[in-house]
Copies of this chain bind each other. A is one copy, B any other.
Amino acid sequence: MNTVLGKDDRCSVARSLEVLGEKWTLLIVRETFLGRSRFSEIQSSLGIAKDVLTNRLAGLVEHGVLERRTYREEGARERYEYALTPVGHDLAHVMAALSQWGDRYRPTEAGPSRVYIEVATGEPVSVGYTSADGRALSAAEVTVVPGPGA
């Protein structure tokens, strides 16, 4: 995915996908959101080839989405784990939006395996637009206009 740029580098979606768009990358990010941060955890959970995982983790670290940290369990040597940086954490809305779409249009018989709820009420939460002063907006209230880089 590294040279999808070109005439297209002015699009924000393209620039995001430059970092996130390769096969497995978003699934690896999801694993870290679920707290699976170690190489072997991710590898066995996704069933990804080790060389590809090495590759993707390096890319995510390079782009500041993950941070490689050492940890040490008692009686074991130093090992690595990959933790979300603040940059990575800000992918939460991307994850939530993808998750919501998948639940709606590609449901399983068993129902969603994880749901987003409001802490205070326990009611389900969806992804939507929020105005500058914190109101939720419907799709009809939002429009896309050319910006400075257009």
> A residues near B, CB below 8 A?
1, 4, 6-24, 26-27, 30, 45-47, 64, 87, 90-106, 108, 110-121, 123-137, 139-150
Contacts and interface: CB of A to CB of B under 8 A. Distances in A.
A143 B119 CA distance: 6
Nearest to A48: B4
Q: How many copies does the complex hold?
A: 2
Contacts of A127: 93, 97, 127-130
A114 B147 contact: yes
Given A13-B26, A113-B10, A142-B117, A129 B125 contact: yes
B134 A12 contact: no
Contact of A90 (B12, B104, B132): B104
